């Protein structure tokens, strides 16, 4: 368990102390946030705030993970490395998008086809690689079985699994991206989900089938549950440190660099911990906000009418007169409830098993 404490603590300290240095660096080069004119009027005052802040917590997470391994003498695992690969890979795609927006002054950033190609390449590479690296018990980081709190008995096969994994990665990375519209909203919500995955990883490690002479229905056949908890702890600590500077009034925004990386990390943790469908509940706020966009677009195309004043959902409440801080806190409460219910179902699944 020392690994979890080390990774979370190191990530927190590095992000808390490193983010101000990044803010100064970005401000010196004029890498400020572009604010679209068709967004809420209150956001115009945020124009020029340094963006690409995701660099801070991505680097802090990487250093925290590998420093923890060096301190404890433990070796990195295939599952941990793959989740970090997905996080950094999608973060790089987001960085290119942000860089084009703020440096090249192109408001839409990376062209849609190029962005899709980047996300697809990283997501599909993760999906394929996650079915490799079997250990002595023939366990691979991911499974071709769909899962909720554990694997279902039937397999969908490798081809459908790759498609399913890519869908999860794309959905969650874009969901966090849509949620990142108010100061601290996506960061705080992500911290809660990463905290849930610390608990899940520790619990699975304690109840892993590898520790039991005879496997039971309630044991977990996950390849590297403890290391997934270490990765989740590093991400949680790094995001906590970043939140100090990202909360209202934000001194820095995470940008697509951060939002795509966080979404990828969440999807990777769910896939490798065999809690794929549970992620829809643990990350309930991201799902709700994504659905608000789908509903808005679908309604307008079919009827010519809008359901919300503006989508994503947080901007609807802004236009209704709610303050930014009020929206963020209430949405955090919703996210906290989603995590509580999700962990409750996770535990109930173990008891029932």
Residue 285 and residue 179 in contact, taking contact as beta carbons nearer than 8 Å:
yes
pLDDT, tens digit (0-9, with 9 covering 90-100), for 151-162: 898 899 999 999
* pLDDT, position 69: 97
The model's confidence at residue 214, banded by pLDDT at 50, 70 and 90, is low
Confidence (pTM): 0.93
Span 57-62, average pLDDT:
98
**177 vs 253: CA distance, rounded Å:** 12
**Which is more confident, 115 or 198?**
198
Task: For residue 61, give the nearest of 190, 150, 155, 251 by alpha carbon.
Answer: 190
pLDDT at 323 over 80: yes
Partners of residue 147 on adjacent β-strands: 151
The model's confidence at residue 81, banded by pLDDT at 50, 70 and 90, is very high
Residue 150 and residue 353 in contact, taking contact as beta carbons nearer than 8 Å:
yes
* pLDDT, position 295: 96
Tokens 């991201």 sit on residue: 286
Tokens 């977990």 sit on residue: 220
pLDDT at 58 over 80: yes
Span 193-215, average pLDDT:
85
Tokens 């100061």 sit on residue: 183
Give alpha helix (H) positions in 207-323. 225-246, 255-272, 279-282, 284-303, 313-319
* pLDDT, position 66: 98
* pLDDT, position 101: 82
pLDDT at 38 over 70: no
* pLDDT, position 107: 60
Per the structure block, which two tokens stand in for 173? 């990375």
Q: What value does the mean pLDDT of the chain take?
A: 91
**11 vs 292: CA distance, rounded Å:** 33
């Amino acid at each position: 368990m020392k690994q979890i404490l080390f990774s979370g603590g190191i990530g927190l300290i590095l992000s808390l102390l490193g983010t101000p240095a990044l803010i100064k660096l970005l401000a010196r080069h004029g890498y400020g946030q572009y604010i679209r004119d068709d967004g809420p009027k209150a956001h115009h005052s945020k124009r020029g705030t340094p963006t690409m802040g995701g660099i801070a917590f991505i680097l802090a997470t990487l250093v925290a993970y590998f420093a923890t391994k060096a301190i404890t003498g433990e070796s990195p695992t295939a599952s941990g490395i793959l989740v970090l690969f997905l996080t950094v890979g999608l973060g790089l795609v987001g960085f290119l998008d942000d860089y084009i927006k703020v440096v090249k002054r192109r408001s839409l950033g990376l062209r849609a086809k190029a962005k899709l190609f980047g996300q697809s390449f990283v997501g599909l590479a993760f999906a394929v690689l996650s079915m490799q690296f079997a250990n002595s018990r023939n366990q691979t980081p991911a499974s071709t079985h769909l899962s909720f709190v554990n694997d279902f008995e039937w397999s969908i096969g490798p081809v459908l699994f790759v498609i399913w994994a890519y869908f999860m990665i794309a959905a969650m990375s874009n969901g966090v991206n849509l949620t990142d519209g108010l100061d601290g909203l996506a960061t705080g919500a992500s911290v809660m989900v990463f905290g849930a995955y610390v608990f899940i990883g520790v619990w699975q490690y304690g109840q892993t089938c590898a520790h039991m002479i005879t496997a039971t229905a309630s044991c977990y056949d996950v390849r590297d549950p403890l290391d997934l908890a270490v990765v989740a702890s590093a991400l949680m600590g790094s995001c906590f440190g970043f939140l100090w500077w990202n909360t209202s009034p934000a001194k820095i925004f995470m940008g697509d660099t951060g939002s795509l990386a966080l979404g990828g990390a969440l999807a990777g943790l769910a896939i490798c911990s065999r809690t794929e469908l549970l992620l829809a509940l643990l990350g309930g706020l991201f799902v709700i906000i994504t659905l608000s966009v789908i509903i808005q677009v679908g309604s307008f195309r079919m009827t010519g009418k809008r359901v919300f004043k503006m989508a994503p959902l947080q901007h609807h409440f802004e236009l209704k007169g709610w303050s930014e801080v009020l929206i963020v806190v209430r949405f955090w409460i919703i996210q906290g409830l989603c995590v509580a219910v999700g962990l409750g179902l996770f535990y109930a699944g173990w008891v029932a098993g």
